[in-house]
Amino acid sequence: MKKYISSCLAICCLSSAIYANDVKYDAQKIADIFYQLNADPKNPKVKVNHAKGFCAMGTFEPAQSINKEIDVPLLTYKSLPIQVRYSLGGAFKDDKSKTRGMAIRITDPQDSASWTMVMLNTEINFAKNLKEFGQFFEMRLPVNGKVDQEKISKMMQEVDSYRNFAAYTDKIGISKSVANTPFFSIHTFYFKQTGSENYLPARWKLVPSEGVAYLNEAQMKSASSDFLKEDFKDRVKTNKPVEYKMYLVYANKNDIINETTALWSGKHKESLVGTFKVNALSDEDCNFDVYFPSDVPQGVNPPQDPLFDVRNEAYAITFGMRQ
């Protein structure tokens, strides 16, 4: 873990910056915006994004067939331990909100190899570059104690990425359980092809074995603000693990692979990578931990879009500030 924190902190000063309206958007600026928007002075160690969450653990069982397609040594094991953190987006405290996050750390029990996956329940996000990412949160900061809702409404219509993301999220509901929530990589990663030096661009998705399901109106009214963890606890008591099938979704020739706002459409080649089984709660240490999506195993190369490196750098900065 320390090596990932150190490496991310080391490259913070090398990150590129974007200037828009005389505002410099880089990892430090974005971290500062998150602190202005979400920090809790009474709880300085609490995360400033995806603040609410709970910790779990389980296993990952790689599908041996995947080794015929991609050369990732970590996937040659029959079973691997995993740490999991489920979360809500932003600073939301009520589970009756749409955005869900899932961070998974797969560890090799025999050496230091690991794979950290940081995912959302949406296939795309709201920004394709630093300017859009920074402004999305900055426009929500109060000015003289008041949030400019008119400005927010205007930008949500004028910026294609914001408008498209809003239209996307309008089509999904509020998932009734983490067992009914899909999760997506959003970024495009590169996987070493078996028997070759080629790396194949692909995204991944976690498909819940129980299917995707949303709360209906009656359930919304009766659900508590902590129903996700409550439901998970009930599953643990009844020995009913949460299960996901992980698939690689390979990019087609004309797919946009360096923009996280690009929604791939049409038929794609998909391959089963393995099965995640989340079957127990763990201590709450994960809520103070940091999960770097740049932590990838041998055979996987990181994304090349303009947000990925800065995302990792911002995580390192906010983690350091929380200490």
Asked if residue 36 belongs to a domain, the reply is no
User: pLDDT tens-digit profile of 53-112?
Assistant: 999 999 999 999 999 999 999 999 999 999 999 999 988 899 999 999 999 999 998 888
Residues paired with 193 in a beta bridge: 70
Residues 6+ apart with CB under 8 A from 260: 124, 125, 127, 128, 186, 187, 305, 307
Out of 29, 33, 48, 50, pick the active-site residue: 50
What pLDDT score was predicted for residue 22?
Answer: 59
pLDDT, position 150: 96
pLDDT score at 281: 97
Say which CATH number the domain at 243 has: 2.40.180.10
* Residues 183-215 pLDDT 10s: 999 999 999 999 999 999 999 999 999 999 999
Cα torsion angle, 52, 56, 61, 67, sign: positive
Could you report the per-residue pLDDT of 7-54, keeping only the tens digit for each? 444 444 444 343 345 577 988 998 888 888 887 777 777 786 788 999
Residue 26 lies in a domain: no
Contacts of 34 (CB under 8 A, 6+ apart): 48, 49, 137, 314, 318
Amino acid at 311: R
Asked whether residue 256 is assigned to any structural domain, the reply reads yes
**Is residue 3 predicted with pLDDT exceeding 60?**
no
Asked whether residue 8 is assigned to any structural domain, the reply reads no
Tell me how many domains the chain contains: 1
- Does residue 111 belong to any structural domain of this protein? yes
Asked if residue 315 belongs to a known ligand binding site, the reply is: yes
Identity (one letter) of the amino acid at 19? Y
* 252 has a pLDDT exceeding 90: yes
List the domain range (segments joined by +) for residue 171.
49-304
Adjacent-strand bridge partners of 106: 82, 115
In a domain, 267, yes or no: yes
Question: 268 an active-site residue?
Answer: no
Give the count of alpha carbons within 13 A of 205, CB side only: 17
